[in-house]
């Protein structure tokens, strides 16, 4: 799931980057950080039955990226942008840390959490992003 999640984030960024209609929109207020915990967000994702399907995948991809006028993402794009941007700007959130989380079994929340243990700031930013995304996307993924 984690590997797919990051791949989907990349694809959404690419799509919105190439589509001229994509632009920031503040029509929907930004949610808070939800559970604000890496492990709890993982545990919530593990209860979802629609993960990897349609709107759920779209939401997971688009929520932490810039909002756009792309019809496919309009309901949730950018709703966790602030959290996503903070995480992307954190020098402690390295490719190695992401690779660690991607190599974990998607249901092994302890493994995923452990990947962030050595960087307090990255763990905090990941918790905020993941908590927000879970909060926003649960309605599409349950």
Q: How far is CA 3 from the centre of its chain?
A: 12
**Do the beta carbons of residue 38 and residue 116 sit within 8 Å?**
yes
pTM: 0.78
110/132 Cα distance (integer angstroms): 19
Mean per-residue pLDDT for 80-107?
Answer: 96
Dist. CA 128–CA 40, nearest whole Å:
11
| Number of residues in the chain | 142
- At 42-85, the pLDDT tens digits run 999 999 988 777 899 999 999 999 988 788 898 999 999 999 99
């Amino acid at each position: 799931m984690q590997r797919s999640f990051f791949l989907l984030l990349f694809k959404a960024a690419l799509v919105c980057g190439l589509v001229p209609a994509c632009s920031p929109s503040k029509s929907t207020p930004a949610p808070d950080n939800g559970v604000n915990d890496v492990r709890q967000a993982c545990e919530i994702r593990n209860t979802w039955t629609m993960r990897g399907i349609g709107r759920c995948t779209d939401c997971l991809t688009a929520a932490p990226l810039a909002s756009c006028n792309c019809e496919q993402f309009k309901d949730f794009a950018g709703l966790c942008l602030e959290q996503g941007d903070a995480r992307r700007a954190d020098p402690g959130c390295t490719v190695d840390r992401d690779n660690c989380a991607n190599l974990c079994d998607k249901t092994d929340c302890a493994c995923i959490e452990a990947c962030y243990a050595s960087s307090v700031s990255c763990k905090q930013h990941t918790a905020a992003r993941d908590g927000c995304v879970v909060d926003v996307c649960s309605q599409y993924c349950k």
